[in-house]
Structure 1
């Protein structure tokens, strides 16, 4: 495309792209510009892959231009190419432009992440602690059976799942046997409980549960964040205890964010129904609502939320909807296992999506471009945030 060879020209095209008035050719150029800007960081990408990238991004942009504003916010495609590097390039470039839409007038030169210092994203990592105190580092274990017990097998799958499979009637000893799965910072894991309930654990979280469920209730304890898909059983309600709250369900999908350093617990319902108990108070929650409790005051506050944003972490994304920089840094701190200096955070807010598969430097680069701030990563994984 002739006539577009300066930052000023590109900035005008970005503004047209955000407003939805750019031609398909102009939109394709905007996307391709960032792709080619980063191309020298992606080795071993063939000419065929470059052409595939150009065609795919052109089609993606055309779809975005024809979508509604709400749909545009949801679109994010991670293409499959012959090399993993090419996949990461498309994923991070797409997210880069989604974030740039939050503030189209910012200049592109405000990028200062030091490339030599970088942090890889988190992965499927967890520790299983058995009743006798012995531990298994799950990411080090081969897939297959981890433990065979009378009437029960504990298995690790290739998808990063820990599965409890009950084979026969449980013994009284198994009923009282407690197991714990703990994810470190930079880790996540899935657990399939003996009743078939699925739990996704976010970074720096812990789930404690009996080896088998018996009696009148199914009870587990959560620290940190977890997404639950509870198997239906009206005769045996499922309870999740987090801090001073108890979430009671018979079968439903919900997310609990109960990191103690956040000072509150947010419980979000996606499907079904739950009853939340907190300091003698009870509150029924319906889908699309989030209950917030804190130690002071003891009241249960209920509000409507964007459920896709709440569970974006489970789907491999960071999603920001008017999120403060402190909220974003808190998520990055857990997922990348870094230390953030919160002493000088500017009061900025962001909208957009970022894949959790991206290296930390690329996420910071996106934030810098859209917020006129800069970051510095020290060798001890200390991240400093400074205003431009």
Structure 2
């Protein structure tokens, strides 16, 4: 491929096109060009092209060369991200307009550093123990492990605050959607005979298939094991139970304290409450509506609804009349509506009224 064509690919990337392909060859090139971030001046595009060509010239495998040339058009803007991170990580970085100071997604690295990942308005790349981490325009994070043999697992922790959602793709290809006020702790690369992560809050998992390495999610003392499947786990502290809902495939839910376990099939939900696991059929679309930007309240108590609204709108909802907690409501709404719109719809069909005072919402019965 001619140099002009490669430059065009680079220009397309910078203009917002062709951002989806992130593979092992891409990160291999990033590692080779990591020297750019060690210098005090921004990387020179022409010199970087020379480095890429020199790298390709010494490759012995033609197919790998071909794939690396295609990846080169994506590599250079990401290398600029490496340089930017290396020289500005200690400076104040302007936040994108739609991210408030209270609602910052944070990544805690193995050495204790905490990065506010949504502060970057464009794509950025960092390295963690031989693994490349692409932060794609502050909206999602993608891990790609290099051929580095780790003796033990190195963990990162992704924390998603109220009013925010976030996606991460783990090094094995598993995709995770994290709901507001949730936290996921996971290895940058999976070592050993299993893939184990730790969850607080709520997340939807789309697990990459690997029959040789079971995928396990640890939630307090409950364990959910899957082999190539999709499921949702709801484990918020303010709820009195843990819920696992299966969208596709099969999972095993177990609670070692009481030696209970069950196998779920698609459309089933396991509920762990007071040490007892029960199962039943549910509407999966209602359970995972948050992932699609909707609230779905199906004959739900106002107290349970309040928990969801508190997490998403970052408010405190106080019931001045305890009886109002037990009123029930059914409805479907967009999560991106203003809080006042959501409360207004509830008032129309339920015998309550709301009073919003800053970050506090008071609930009254209509007497």
TM-score normalised by length of structure 1 = 0.65
In 2: Cα distance, 1:261 partner to 1:188 partner: 19
Q: How far apart are 1:159 and its partner, in Å?
A: 7.0
Structure 1: state its 5+ residue gaps: 1-119
Distance 1:136 1:183 in 2: 12
Measure how far apart 1:141 and its partner are.
Answer: 2.0
**1:172 correspondence with 2:150:** yes
In the other structure, the counterpart of 1:21 is none
Aligned to 1:374: 353
- Residue by residue, what CA displacement relative to the aligned partner does 1:175-232 show, whole Å, maximum 9, x if unpaired? 4211000011112111100001010111111000011012100000000000000001
Q: Confirm or deny: 8 A CA contact 2:103 2:162 kept in the other structure.
A: no
Return structure 1 stretches of 4+ with deviation > 6 angstroms: 120-124
Q: 1:130 aligns with which of 87, 101, 109?
A: 109
Aligned to 2:163: 186
Aligned CA-pair RMSD: 2.0
Secondary structure of 1:368 counterpart? helix
- Rounded Cα–Cα distance in structure 1 between residues aligned with 2:165 and 2:348: 29
Matched, 1:218 2:195: yes
SS of match in other structure, 1:240: strand
Distance 2:104 2:166 in 1: 6
Could you list the runs of 5+ residues in structure 2 that have no partner in the other structure?
1-98
Q: Does residue 123 of structure 2 align to residue 144 of structure 1?
A: yes
Equivalent residue, structure 2, for 1:358: 337
Alpha carbons 2:119, 2:138 under 8 Å: kept: no
Name the TM-score, length of structure 2 as normaliser.
0.69
Report matched runs for 1:295-314 at 5 Å: 296=274, 298-314=275-291
Mapped contact 2:230–2:247 kept (Cα < 8 A): yes
Equivalent in 169, 179, 196 of residue 173 of structure 2 = 196
- Whether 2:328 is the aligned partner of 1:349: answer yes
Work out whether residues 240 and 247 of structure 1, in 8 Å CA contact, stay in contact via their aligned partners in 2: yes
Tell me whether 1:231 sits opposite 2:208 in the alignment: yes
Tell whether the 8 Å contact from 1:125 to 1:189 is kept in structure 2 after alignment: no
Equivalent pair of 1:227/1:256 in contact (CA under 8 Å): yes
Deviations 1:45-84 (Å, cap 9, x if unpaired)? xxxxxxxxxxxxxxxxxxxxxxxxxxxxxxxxxxxxxxxx
* Rounded Cα–Cα distance in structure 1 between residues aligned with 2:134 and 2:219: 26
Helix, strand or coil at the partner of 1:366:
helix
Structure 1 partner of 2:307: 330
Q: CA deviation at 1:244?
A: 1.1
Give 3-state SS (helix, strand or coil) of 1:195's partner.
Answer: coil
Deviation of 1:255 (Å): 0.3
- Report how many aligned residue pairs link the two structures: 264
Residue of structure 1 equivalent to 2:243:
266
Shift of 1:315: 0.5
> Quick check: 1:245 aligned with 2:218?
no
Distance 1:242 1:343 in 2: 33
Cα distance in 1 for residues equivalent to 2:232 and 2:107: 22
Deviations, residues 97-135 of structure 1 (Å, cap 9, x unaligned): xxxxxxxxxxxxxxxxxxxxxxx9999841100011101
Is residue 293 from structure 1 mapped to residue 272 from structure 2 by the alignment?
yes
Q: Tell me: CA distance 1:269–1:159, structure 2 relative to 1, closer, same or farther (3 Å).
A: farther
After superposition, give the CA deviation of every residue in 1:220-265 in whole Å (9 maximum; x if it has no partner). Answer: 0000000000001110000000011000111100000001221210
Alpha-carbon distance between aligned partners in 1 of 2:247 and 2:102, rounded to the nearest angstrom: 25
Per the alignment, do residues 139 and 145 of structure 1 end up closer, same or farther by CA in structure 2, a change over 3 Å counting?
closer
Question: RCO greater where, 1 or 2, for CA within 8 Å and sep 6 or more?
Answer: 1
Q: Is the 8 A contact 2:196 2:216 kept in 1?
A: yes
Cα pair 1:124 1:139 within 8 Å, conserved: no
